[in-house]
Amino acid sequence: MDHRSQIREFLTSRRARISPQQAGVPSYGTRRVPGLRRSEVAQLAGVSVEYYSRLERGDLSGVSDSVLDALSRALRLNDEERTHLEDLARAAGPRPRRRRRAPQRQVRPTVQRMLEAMTDAPAFVMNGRGDILAFNALGRALYAPMIESARGRVPNHARFIFLDARSHHFWGDWERAADDTVALLQAEAGRDPFDTALTELVGELSTRSPDFRTRWARHDVRQHHIGAKPFRHPVVGELELTYESLELPADGLILVAYGAEPGSGSQDRLRLLASWSTTPDGTAPDRAGARPGSGEPPSAAPEATGGPGRTP
* Residue 110 confidence (pLDDT) above 50: yes
Report the sign of the C-alpha dihedral through residues 253, 202, 99, 80, in that order: negative
**Helix (H, G, I), strand (E, B), or coil: what is residue 77?**
coil
For 143, phi and psi rounded to 5 degrees?
A: -95, 25
Residues 273/256, Cβ–Cβ less than 8 Å: no
Average pLDDT over residues 120-134: 95
Reported as a single tens digit per residue, the pLDDT across 212-234 is 999 999 999 987 788 999 999 99
CATH architecture under which domain 109-310 falls: 2-Layer Sandwich (3.30)
- At residue 101, what is the residue type? R
Q: Domain 3-92, what fold?
A: 434 Repressor (Amino-terminal Domain) (1.10.260)
* Residue 281 confidence (pLDDT) above 70: no
Within 10 Å of residue 42's Cβ, how many Cβ atoms? 22
* Residue 289 confidence (pLDDT) above 60: no
Q: Measure the CA–CA gap between 90 and 87, rounded to whole angstroms.
A: 5
Residue ranges covered by each domain of the chain: 3-92, 109-310
Q: Where are the alpha helices (DSSP H) in 57-103?
A: 65-74, 79-92
Reported as a single tens digit per residue, the pLDDT across 44-72 is 999 999 999 999 999 998 899 999 999 99
* Same-fold call for 3-92 versus 109-310: no
* Residue 28 confidence (pLDDT) above 50: yes
What pLDDT, on a 0 to 100 scale, did the predictor assign at position 311?
A: 30
